[in-house]
Structure 1
Amino acid sequence: MSIWKSGIFLVCLCSFFLISLPVLAVDPGSGNLTQIWEQIQDYRFVDLTHTFEPGIPHWKGDPDETVETLYSYEPGNGTLGSGFYMQYYCHVGQWGTHVDPPAHFIKGLRTLDQISPREMILPLVVIDIHEKVYQNPDYVVTINDVKDWEEKNGQIPEGSFVALRTDWSKRWPDQDEMQNTDSFGVAHYPGWSQEVLTYLYEQRNITASGHETTDTDPGIVVSQDKYPLETYVLSQNKYQVELLTNLDQVSEVGALIVVAFPKPLDGSGFPARVFAICP
């Protein structure tokens, strides 16, 4: 995986561990960053990515994925036997756990290929509202939720990735459960709020945010075909990740998140592989 080979990745890890985890002391003059790789092998790696396939939960306007086997180890079933296995995938960019770049909503802002690798390895902040969502599926995170987090953990770091834990991903892979639509066709699932996103992006200057649902906005708003909160996030020229999972396995503070994705020219979105490194 190329991101593991990048000096940027290792420098970011080095900075994080030297600041937050003094037991992982590395001589900065040694020129040998492999010490970082060796030391993190004892840490937990938590996959925050859903496995995607045809039929998974997705935004209501997206067509389903199709997969075709073009070449197989042995001939048969209409494929060419070539001694290797190759598939053809057809899906929208916003498929499965995926990245939305600013250009997804805002013409003229950055596309996927313009997002720097420096923005792909970040301190991870997890704001946990899952118990409130259990009581009310329409719950949206409030500024009090964020202030409570900061009172307990300290100020949200500048440049961090803030993930909203709702445990909604536990409904995966059932599309109906994820949408939670009532008899009137209105979806009921949690989301962000404008006051919180404004605080995070304009006062705490975070780099990106993510959530477990199919949308930034709560289901009630999306059911009206309105997306004001997603529009806001992307208008800040920042990216977001949708359909995260396993946030219940990550602490509220202290981990790193790695958001890796392809680099299509002028890309408007693409499935991502997202994971956390947890001390």
Structure 2
Amino acid sequence: MHISKKLAGVLLPALLAVSGCAQTGQADKTSLWSAYDNTFKNAKYIDLTHAFAPVQPVWPGFGNAKFKAAIAGQKIDGYVNVGQEFTYENHGFVATAYDLPTDQYGTQLDPPAHWNPMGATISDLPATYSLRPLVVINIADKVAKDQGYFLHVSDIEEWEKKHGKIPEGSVVMVRSDWYKRWDDIKSFNETPFPGVGLEALKFLHLKRHILFHGHEPLDTDATPDLEGEYWLMHNNFTQAEGVANLDKVPESGALISIGFAKPLGGTGGYARYVAIAPADWKYGVTIADAPGAPLPEQAWPLKRDENGVMRPTPK
């Protein structure tokens, strides 16, 4: 398997650190803690995910989600009655109920079962999906001239001339900068939109043996029969849709962390993608920048807005 020089710069120090600990007896030979301390702790983390919301782009046939306060489903004497809304004032906590009309919503991971009656569901995907090499192929300049431009095999070959052969088992994200329209629903849903060509998909999967590809729009292509998505699902491949911030990620040398909800038998996955870039990359935050514990408090108390979303609201 080919590994780019930048990716080697991320992985080799981590692997050598693990090996060194094993040899010196400083840690169990199976430990990855030194890899974390020497590489991942100082890496740059970039979120590639849109938060899903009641108002956002979605295929019109599905409709939008609804957010609302969770209510008690059964009575608990002296505490809550059926139908009562949980509040900070009365119960010390709140919870939110989500009416999700589809599992094809927001930044997502499509399993084969989305189109294929014999395909794997989201709960069938193995844990090995969690961390992979990340490739970003940039077609944004071409999309700026032709918003219906789609990824060609020639774009992949151009990337490989610069960075070397795409690593087997990697995730290939196609950067179009279409994500910048996300908050303008009408503009985001325009057609034509940037796509990924069928021949490019076949090349990536059958010649380079990638794990999956991802794109910023909510469909693979704008062909009448969605030929790219049909081919992927019926050949038992997954794909990512609605990805964000690919303009903030190096084209090679980064990793991608992949997380998704796991509904049993799910035909789609609400996903969280995070790029992990080398420490000297210009974008992203380190663990020192955002340690995560304790988390910062809101500027004002949280209250529900007109769409049921909890937001900091001045008193």
Same fold (TM > 0.5): yes
Q: SS at 2:96's partner residue?
A: strand
Identity %: 35
Q: CA deviation at 1:34?
A: 1.4
User: How high is the TM-score relative to the length of structure 2?
Assistant: 0.75
2:198 pairs with 1:194 = yes
1:84 aligned onto 2:114: no
Mapping of 1:227-246 within 5 angstroms? 227-246=226-245
1:213 aligns with 2:224: no
Partner of residue 11, structure 1: none
CA RMSD between the two structures: 2.2
**C-alpha contact 2:18 2:34 (8 A) present in aligned 1:** no
Q: 1:235: Cα distance to partner?
A: 2.0
What is the Cα deviation at residue 253 of structure 1?
A: 0.7
Distance 2:10 2:231 in 1: 32
Give the secondary structure class of the aligned counterpart of 2:188. Answer: helix
Is this contact kept in 2: 1:71–1:85, CA < 8 A?
Answer: no
Structure 1 residues 108 and 19: alpha-carbon distance in aligned structure 2, compared to 1, 3 A threshold: farther
2:141 pairs with 1:122: no
Any stretches of 5+ residues in structure 1 without a counterpart? 1-15, 181-186
Query: Which amino acid is 1:199 matched to?
Result: F
| Bigger Rg, structure 1 or 2 | 2
Code of the residue aligned with 1:232 in structure 2: it is W
Query: How big is the shift at 1:71?
Result: 5.4
Q: SS at 1:209's partner residue?
A: strand
**Which residue in 1 is equivalent to 2:303?**
none
The CA deviation string for residues 19-44 of structure 1, in whole angstroms up to 9 with x for no partner, is 75433331333423212222312111
1:26 pairs with 2:17: yes
Q: CA deviation at 1:246?
A: 0.3
More displaced stretch, 147-156 vs 20-29: 20-29
Partner of 1:54: 54
- Structure 1: distance between partners of 2:211 and 2:127: 12
Q: Secondary structure of 1:22's partner? A: helix
Amino acid in the other structure paired with 2:60: K
Partner of 1:148: 158
Change (3 A) 1:203 1:18: closer
Residues 261 and 271, structure 1, Cα contact 8 Å, conserved in 2? yes
TM-score scaled by structure 1?
0.84
SS in 2 for 1:49: coil
Give the conservation status (yes or no) of the 8 Å contact 2:131–2:255. Answer: yes
Q: 1:17 Cα deviation (Å)?
A: 7.1
**Equivalent position amino acid for 1:201 in 2:** H
Cα distance in 2, alignment partners of residues 20 and 37 from structure 1? 11
Matched residue, 2:113:
103
